[in-house]
Amino acid sequence: MILTGPEIVESTRTGKISISPFNRDQVNPNSYNVCLGETLVTYTGSVIDAYQPNPTQAVKMESDGYVLQPNELYLGHTVEEVGSDFFVPLIFGRSSVGRLGLFVEITAPIGDIGFHGQWTLMLSPVVPLRVYPGMKIGQIMFFDTLGEIETYSGKYQGAVGPQESRYWRDKLEQL
């Protein structure tokens, strides 16, 4: 079951969902709008290697925005720290942003129960597109669970700002 807007509000009041900062105006009928943070990260190497740490470059957006370029992967983040020890959060790009040609979070929309932090957003524009810090970029829905809950305690817990892939760490742990 998907939580309704009023249930999201009630669950933030009771602490079953944490959203900080919380803004009642960002509550939708069955989701919560999240905003784009001020930092973008791009990979700087000519090839991204899944089994190695990759060099990155961070850019702080100014209030006049930043132009995203096609064929470039940008890692952004939500302004809000969002999490729940009771519900499964899923994040999606807003349709208004998709209609501008921006893919947001296509491959990894599901969050784990127990994750708390800013969400990293994978941003891929199909045309040059100016984005702004603080713009509504996505929406998070919360799903009820069935069964025993084991909360997340992984490598991205407590994330602040965009987090580059740590997939390579999984390979190291296998050695």
Average pLDDT, rounded, for the chain: 94
Over residues 26-30, the mean pLDDT reads 97
Measured from the Cβ of residue 111, the count of other Cβ atoms closer than 10 Å reads 22
Instruction: Decide: 56 and 42 in contact? Cβ < 8 Å.
Output: yes
Q: 5-168 sits in which CATH class?
A: mainly beta
Q: Would you state the pLDDT for residue 161?
A: 87
Over residues 108-130, the mean pLDDT reads 94
Residue 122 CA to residue 169 CA, distance in Å, equals 20
pLDDT band at 45 (very low <50, low <70, confident <90, very high): very high
> Quick check: helix, strand or coil at residue 116?
strand
Rounded to 5 degrees, what angle do the CA atoms 129, 130, 135 make? 115
What pTM was computed for the model?
0.91
**Pairing of the two strands 74-84 and 17-20:** antiparallel
Domain ranges of the chain: 5-168
